[in-house]
């Protein structure tokens, strides 16, 4: 019986690895980025950024390193719900002794209780099985729809006739991401001038679930001794979204947490709306460089820090090559 179970587990693990969805190349290589974090050395990062696509299109850890020597990583996924952000932070703190956690607050403006499979599998697929992942699964789907999130084989077992050479070559333990979770988006979207939010002072109520997880994020950082910074990265926010951000700002102030809405700082950042956006709500690589430099120069944590080693020089050179191409 023991021999049978061992053989079954080996075959199941092999089949699960081969059949699972993988995005390891190109702009949207989420598999490499998430696996890359889990393959990082312990205590490699002093700062990490969490949230949805607004986070991974805005924070450029290589620019942060080049300017200050601080090592950081973007641990974000597409439309990452607030509860997924919390559980990603829990996983990050298992191996990283962070000084600063930066959370983009876009998803606090969304009122969904659950999200579709495309979103759920993006943040669940590559998280290793653990008690924390099972809690994330429980928060992410109603009872009866959770098993395939915890066991991705149930979702992807029918991919056998779509398999390519890359599926067999994939080795989770060898995955890395030179851009440290940042998405290098090169194309430009000629965006009209951003919406004026200066007169939006009203507050919109957060859903009970989002408010609960906001408080959990705050308490987690207090418990772990991590400075928390809640931000809204530049995203051409709408007046309706701004009302939710105002509520997050209020909660942040009540708990002594820093909050910054960078949609209110476009002039200081120096954006060119014809060249610095990938689409009407995400920065491209040019815009991200400008924003990251502004973020570093105007965040107290980075004051006085200087480049003190060359561990990431190869990644920096690869980034320069990629952006030139």
**Residue 16: its pLDDT value, please?**
61
pLDDT per residue as tens, the chain (325 positions): 999 888 877 775 666 666 566 565 666 678 889 999 999 999 999 999 999 999 999 999 999 999 999 999 999 999 999 999 999 999 999 999 999 999 999 999 999 999 988 898 888 888 998 999 999 999 999 988 887 777 765 565 556 667 777 766 777 788 889 999 999 998 888 887 788 898 999 999 999 999 999 999 999 999 999 999 999 999 999 999 999 999 999 999 999 999 999 999 999 999 999 999 999 899 999 999 999 999 999 999 999 887 766 689 999 999 999 888 7
- Residue 27 and residue 229: Cα distance in Å, rounded? 27
With H, G, I as helix, E, B as strand and everything else as coil, classify residue 166: helix
- Residue 77 and residue 84: Cα distance in Å, rounded? 9
C-beta pairs of 3-12 under 8 Å, 24+ apart in sequence? 12/153
**Residue 156: its pLDDT value, please?**
58
Question: Given CA atoms 223, 229, 231, 233 in this order, what sign does their dihedral have?
Answer: negative
**Residue 30: its pLDDT value, please?**
85
CB atoms within 10 A of CB 164: 8
Report pTM: 0.90
**Residues forming a β-bridge with 72:** 47
**Residue 193: its pLDDT value, please?**
79
Q: Which structure tokens are listed for 246?
A: 């105002």
Q: Which structure tokens are listed for 53?
A: 């696509």
Domain residue spans in the chain?
Answer: 27-114+175-324
Fold of 27-114+175-324: Rossmann fold (3.40.50)
Nearest to 227 by CA among 201, 246, 199, 252: 252
- Residue 257 and residue 231: Cα distance in Å, rounded? 10
- Residue 273 and residue 283: Cα distance in Å, rounded? 10
DSSP letters, 208-250, are HHHHHHHHHHHHHHHHHT-EEEEEE-SS---HHHHHHHHHHHH
Distances (CA, A) of 307 to 29, 261, 310: 28, 28, 8
**Residues forming a β-bridge with 48:** 73, 101
Q: Which structure tokens are listed for 228?
A: 């928390």
- Residue 233 and residue 159: Cα distance in Å, rounded? 37
- Residue 130 and residue 168: Cα distance in Å, rounded? 25
């Amino acid at each position: 019986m023991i021999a049978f179970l061992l053989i079954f587990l080996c075959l199941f693990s092999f089949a699960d690895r081969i059949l699972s969805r993988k995005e390891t190349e190109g702009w949207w290589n989420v598999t490499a980025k998430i696996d890359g974090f889990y393959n990082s050395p312990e205590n490699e990062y002093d700062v990490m950024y969490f949230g949805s696509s607004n986070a991974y299109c805005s924070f450029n850890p290589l620019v942060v390193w080049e300017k200050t020597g601080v090592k950081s990583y973007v641990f974000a996924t597409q439309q990452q719900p607030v509860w997924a952000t919390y559980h990603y932070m829990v996983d990050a703190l298992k191996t990283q002794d962070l000084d600063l956690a930066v959370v983009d607050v876009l998803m606090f403006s969304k009122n969904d209780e659950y999200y579709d499979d495309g979103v759920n599998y993006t943040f669940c697929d590559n998280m290793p099985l653990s008690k924390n992942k099972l809690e994330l699964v429980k928060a992410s789907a109603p009872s009866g729809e959770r098993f395939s999130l915890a066991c991705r084989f149930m979702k992807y077992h029918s991919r056998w006739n779509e398999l390519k050479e890359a599926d067999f070559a994939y080795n989770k333990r060898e995955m890395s991401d030179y851009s440290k979770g940042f998405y290098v988006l090169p194309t430009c979207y000629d965006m009209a001038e951003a919406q004026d939010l200066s007169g939006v002072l009203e507050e919109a109520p957060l859903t009970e679930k989002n408010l609960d997880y906001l408080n959990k994020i705050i308490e987690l950082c207090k418990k772990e001794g991590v400075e928390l910074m809640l931000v809204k990265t530049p995203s051409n926010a709408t007046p309706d979204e701004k009302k939710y951000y105002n509520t997050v700002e209020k909660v942040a102030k009540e708990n002594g947490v820093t909050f910054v809405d960078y949609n209110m700082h476009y002039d200081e950042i120096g954006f060119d709306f014809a060249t610095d956006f990938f689409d009407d709500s995400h920065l491209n690589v040019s815009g991200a460089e400008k924003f990251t430099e502004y973020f570093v120069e105007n965040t107290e944590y980075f004051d006085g820090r200087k480049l003190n080693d060359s561990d990431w020089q190869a990644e920096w050179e690869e980034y320069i090559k990629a952006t030139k191409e």
